Amino acid sequence: MQIHSLFGSGKAVVSFEIFPPKPNYSLDTIFATLDGLKELKPDFISVTYGAGGSSTERSIEIADKVKNEYHIETLAHLTCVGSTRGDIEKVLNRFSNHNIENVLALRGDPPQGQAGFAASNPGYKYAGDLVAHIKERTDFCVAAAAYPEGHLECPDLNVHFSHLKAKVDQGVDFLITQLFFDNNIFFTFLDKARAQGIYCPVVVGIMPVLNAAQIKRMTSLCGASVPDGLQRILEKYANSAADMEKAGIEYACRQINNLLENHADGIHLYTMNKAEQARIIMHQTGLR
């Protein structure tokens, strides 16, 4: 099923994100996660591709299992940086052969320890180039990323908006946001996006703070700002992992409840492969 057909019912679309386990871990760990997530009946699950240096083969294998063994609608991430058009066509063919109908078209992060990309990057420069290529050649439903706080590489928010508008016009069916911890930033972003003619559904990406180290890594990777309320939690529970997790889950639930009150099109939970915490959040927000 094409995910864009799920929007517009008046109910928020609910989705989860998982990433492949590191190469030295068995794939069984992700199947244990999926067993738990399946019970929550998500509308779809997305599988990251190359995030944090993970193997792309594992991403394809997991996306296949989600769709064909768990029978959950799948959104396969695809990054294009460093690939040729031929490489991308091969991966798209493999997705098609596994009946995967939805792709999240991304540019990709620079390699770890590197701030930018080599000028000689072949093939694709921006995610929009990948969106256009997929739409030209296939019938995939195409999602893309949106950055409510702007993007680290593009400090001028107005310029960044024009890039987003151009990307959407290249054929994006729906957007998923980068994580953020202050809903007001999202509401301002959404108003501005609509005013600039970006009309597609916008799913909100939420990352629960489950431990301080992970949030440090994510905020430095994606530039999300940490509001005072969250900073206080990080300081107060610095020496108590269990209390930190509990407070992080409560924070995420408050964010989600407020987004639902404001009619968000969808909630996409960055699960960090933790099914039990996802279950608590789904129950506490009444989403499941």
Ligand X SMILES: Nc1nc(=O)c2c([nH]1)NC[C@@H]1CN(c3ccc(C(=O)N[C@@H](CCC(=O)O)C(=O)O)cc3)CN21
266 binds ligand NAI (CB under 6 A): no
CA dihedral 198, 201, 204, 205 (to 10 degrees): -90
- Touching ligand NAI, residues 196-215 (CB under 6 A): none
Q: Who's near 76: CB < 8 A, 6+ residues apart?
A: 46, 47, 49, 59, 60, 63, 95, 100, 102, 103, 104
Q: Which is nearer to ligand NAI, 42 or 108 (CB)?
A: 108
* Distances 17 to 59, 85, 184 between C-alpha atoms, Å: 12, 26, 23
User: Mask: binding to ligand NAI, 140-179, rule CB under 6 A, as x and -?
Assistant: -----x-----x-xx-----x--x--xx------------
Q: What's the min distance (Å) between Cβ of 148 and ligand X?
A: 12
| 3-class SS of residue 14 | strand
Q: Say which entry of ligand X, ligand NAI, none residue 148 contacts (CB below 5 to 8 A, set by partner kind).
A: none
Residues that bind ligand X (CB under 6 A): 19, 21-22, 48, 51-52, 109, 178-179, 205, 214, 217-218, 221-222, 270
234 binds ligand NAI (CB under 6 A): no
Q: Active site includes 276?
A: no
- Touching ligand NAI, residues 57-86 (CB under 6 A): 77, 79
Q: Which is nearer to ligand NAI, 124 or 237 (CB)?
A: 124
Q: Say which entry of ligand X, ligand NAI, none residue 226 contacts (CB below 5 to 8 A, set by partner kind).
A: none
Q: Is 37 left (phi over 0), alpha (psi -120 to 50) or beta?
A: alpha
Among positions 61, 126, 200, 234, the unique one binding ligand NAI when judged by CB under 6 A: 126
Q: In terms of DSSP bridges, do strands 202-206 and 13-18 run parallel, antiparallel, or are they unpaired?
A: unpaired
Residue 167: enclosing H or E segment and its boundaries?
A: helix 157-169
Q: Say which entry of ligand NAI, ligand X, none residue 151 contacts (CB below 5 to 8 A, set by partner kind).
A: ligand NAI
Positive or negative: CA dihedral 63, 64, 67, 73: positive
Q: Rounded CA gap, 145 and 176, in Å?
A: 5
Buried (b) or exposed (e) across 177-206, using 16+ Cβ within 10 A?
Answer: bbbbbbbebbeebbeebeeeebebbbbbbb
Q: Say which entry of ligand NAI, ligand X, none residue 214 contacts (CB below 5 to 8 A, set by partner kind).
A: ligand X
Residue pair 174/202 in contact (Cβ under 8 Å)? The answer is: yes
Among positions 16, 44, 49, 180, the unique one binding ligand NAI when judged by CB under 6 A: 49
Q: Say which entry of ligand X, ligand NAI, none residue 166 contacts (CB below 5 to 8 A, set by partner kind).
A: ligand NAI
| Catalytic residue IDs | 17
Chain contacts with ligand NAI (rule: CB under 6 A): 48-51, 77, 79, 106-109, 126-128, 145, 151, 153-154, 160, 163, 166-167
